[in-house]
Amino acid sequence: MNIDIITIFPEFFDAFLHTSIIKRGIEDGFLNIKTHQLRDYSSLKHNRIDDTPYGGGAGMLMMFPPFYEAIKTLKKQHTKIIMTSPQGQLFDQKKATELAREEHIIVLCGHYEGIDARVEDLIDEEISIGNYVLTGGEMPAMIMVDAISRLVPGVIHEDSSETDSLQKGWLKYPQYTKPENYEGYRVPDILLSGHHQNIEMWRKEQSIRRTLSKRPDLLGEIKLTEEEKKILKRIQSEKQG
């Protein structure tokens, strides 16, 4: 997976790219993530990249030419170009899984009052991480790159990503580690039983219970198996009765 991030603050990503799983993924050759200083693609004095908007308005707008030149330089045959924007599609696990299959992604980080609208002719999609406005696109870019990178084969153990919350629609079941009893707070007996089939059934039910309790809005997006339908019906019956 190759990811290029175009930003006016490449230093923002220094710790991110040199820490933990992302660092290992890069060192092991599964990830190739690079930041690019947008100012390097400006032909103006002092590498200026912003100006006042035509028609008036508050604040400064990022100019079109530097983004055009950066994209022209970095784009390959199979490149997906994404712009971080509060106007974009909301980012979720499904979108992260989809993007993890791409060969090459370019992420544009906006700033100030945004980017000259002509850049929309060069991108494939706008993506938002939530219904709020941030000072720049660096943090959304970091969040998206992190979520995408961990789904790239080899970056983390496949079994781990397959059981993540939201990977199959459900929230993840509760997990516990040693000691089995601390100040009266005990690990559920089922997890100490050694009966793997019963443990898997318990975990599936707990995932459904957690989703119902914490994120019932997700239910409409999940394609239920027959087994999940039965568990869900039983849990709902308990709540009603």
User: Is the CB of residue 3 less than 8 Å from the CB of residue 145?
Assistant: yes
Catalytic residue among 24, 39, 69, 86: 86
- If phi > 0 it is left, if psi is from -120 to 50 it is alpha, else beta; for residue 56 that is left
Catalytic residue among 66, 116, 150, 209: 150
User: Is the CB of residue 143 less than 8 Å from the CB of residue 91?
Assistant: yes
CA distance 117 to 102: 25
Helices and strands in the chain: count of H runs, count of E runs: 8, 9
164 flagged as catalytic: yes
Give residue 64's identity as a one-letter amino acid code. Answer: F
189 flagged as catalytic: no
- If phi > 0 it is left, if psi is from -120 to 50 it is alpha, else beta; for residue 176 that is beta
Catalytic residue among 102, 113, 125, 126: 113
153 flagged as catalytic: no
Q: 7 forms bridges with which residues in the sheet?
A: 37
CA distance 177 to 153: 27
86 flagged as catalytic: yes
Place of tokens 């930041």: 35
Catalytic residue among 164, 203, 205, 210: 164
The tokens for 92 are 């979720």
Cα 10–chain centre separation: 19
Cα 148–chain centre separation: 6
Kindly list the catalytic residues: 86, 113, 150, 164
